[in-house]
Amino acid sequence: MKKTTAALLACLLLLSGLLSACGSSEPLPQESLPQQGDPIAVLETSAGTIRLRFFPEEAPLAVENFLTLAKEGYYDGISFHRVMAGFMVQSGDPTGTGSGGRSIYTDAAGNRGFFQDEFSSRLFHFRGALSMANSGSNTNGSQFFIVQANELADGQEQALKSAGTDRRAVSKYQAEGGTPWLDGKHTVFGQVLEGMEVVDAIAAAQTDEDDRPLEEITILSVTVENYMKQE
């Protein structure tokens, strides 16, 4: 009886280990393609076209907010008011000042306001990540940014390892770059699917002392369509 129990426990431990190994081998959301029919957003900008995919399971509020605003035409004509080469490009403020914009979510009086942060242990600020801009905790409105950094800042790799960050995420950061110090501070809710060269071109624009492009770069339109896999 004792031998049978021991053998059973050994089998269970082995199975647990195998399942754990299988789970850890699954790609991170930002490493996989969207599913057929998933919504994607097409940003037609004055610098070119950027296509974005989304992660509604991890950040449902942020995704619904962006897609609804896009369908309303809210982002059409809005500028990239802050761009920083080697860091990110930011837009989504109809006032163009960096202090405007509201979400689709309303308060008790029916006024559009802010919504809470949505942090996921499976999403990271890799190069190409789409994330909510904010002015502190739970102040998400309509502003967003796309990470443009193509390498890690000094000390970031060791900081990731010391923090026990998922090894897959560390490897992706090492290979592609990003801004890991923003993890847990801003809500990642999407990723560039196509058009990183356009993001790079926007980031390379000449700017003033406030990181505003000297020549305005705008979002001409944002349309939402269903993703179709290429055969």
Active centre residues (catalytic): 82, 87, 90, 134, 145, 182, 186
Burial code of 150-184, b = ≥16 C-beta within 10 A, e = fewer?
eebeeebeeebeeeebeebbbebbeebbbbbebbe
Burial code of 30-68, b = ≥16 C-beta within 10 A, e = fewer?
beeebeeeebbbbbebebeebebbbbeebbebbbbbbbe
- 124: tokens are 């990271």
DSSP state letters, 145-180: EEE---SPPTTHHHHHHHTT--HHHHHHHHHH-B-G
Return d(Cα 180, Cα 163) in angstroms, integer.
Answer: 11
Angle, alpha carbons 81-135-196 (nearest 5°): 45
